[in-house]
Amino acid sequence: MIVKNKVVVISGGASGLGQATARYFAEKGAKVAILDLNEDAGKATAAAIGDEGCLFCVADVTSEESVQSAIEQVLEKFGVIDININCAGIPAPCKVLDRDGNPTRLKKFSHVTSVNLIGIFNVMSKCAAVMAKNPLEKAEERGVIINVSSGAAYEGQIGQSAYAASKAGIIGINLPAARELGPLGIRVNAIAPGLFRTPMVDALGDKVIESLVDMIESPKRCGDMQEFAHCCEFIVENAYINGETIRLDAATRLRAK
């Protein structure tokens, strides 16, 4: 599927990897719909891309009603959805036990998984329902879904119990979803990024970032967000990639802490 002239729905598209991907795909000639809770950042991103080819929708990925409303806005403006890239996520730290040895409150674990895993399923399922009605392209494709996992899904660090679980769940969705939606002409893949210099990573502080960069093999640097966006384009345009998770991490393998 060629990116040019396609309609792309990006959750978490107002910042970080989602924002970089929105801008990248717009530059490639796609029409972009950004779903995000951050209204100021979302409007600013849409304005920078251009109102004709970009739509911002305030959307809470944990709410069925909110996401459905956003999907309806996308269809009203663009009439179709061809590609869905799910970048929405939160990094909240969560241990099994707190510093006093007490069980971590369940709502803390639940909040992370609700946004990072259930939220992605919420958006992808609604986009898939629209894609399934698209005409076949080259007699084989109606849509492409890309979900963002993390290297933490494989080597979660101490304090990442909720985050790692949610990101591993995204990988778990891949194959059954690809098997289910494949006959409809919809491919499902995931990217597991390593360390990219996003606002989420910046919030960790320089000391933590330095320790993480030390675990990167080569090239020994944070990833460029354009490299992530390019990987999304590659997945979209290569019709034989399906049910796969690409580790985009410069061979990084996280230590326990």
Instruction: For 194-207, write each residue's pLDDT tens digit.
Output: 999 887 788 878 88
Please report whether residue 107 resides in a domain.
yes
Instruction: Report the amino acid identity of residue 97.
Output: L
How far, in Å, CA of 210 to CA of 197, rounded? Answer: 12
Phi-psi label, residue 133: left if phi above 0, alpha if psi -120 to 50, beta otherwise: alpha
Give residue 21's Cα distance to chain centre: 10
- Catalytic residue of the set 24, 154, 163, 240: 163
Residue 113's pLDDT is what? 97
Which residues are 213's β-sheet partners?
none
Range of the domain at 88: 7-197+224-248
Residue 3's pLDDT is what? 97
Please report whether residue 208 resides in a domain.
no
| Residue 232 near residue 145, CB atoms below 8 Å | no
Task: Specify burial of residue 139 (Cβ count, 10 A radius: 0-12, 13-18, 19+).
Answer: exposed
Residue 208's pLDDT is what? 83
Q: What is the side-by-side order of every strand in the sheet holding 54-58? A: 54-58, 31-36, 7-11, 83-86, 143-148, 186-193, 245-248
Residue 16's pLDDT is what? 95
Please report whether residue 219 resides in a domain.
no
Is 163 a catalytic site residue? Answer: yes
Please report whether residue 133 resides in a domain.
yes
Residue 204's pLDDT is what? 79
Q: Number of structural domains, the chain?
A: 1
Per the listing, tokens 């979803």 go with: 177
Residue 257's pLDDT is what? 83
Residue 146: CATH number of its domain: 3.40.50.720
Residue 149's pLDDT is what? 98
Please report whether residue 205 resides in a domain.
no
Please report whether residue 203 resides in a domain.
no
Residue 110's pLDDT is what? 97
Sign of the four-CA dihedral 42, 48, 50, 53: negative
Residues shown for the chain: 257
Question: What residues in the chain have per-residue pLDDT under 70?
Answer: none
- pTM, rounded to two decimals: 0.95
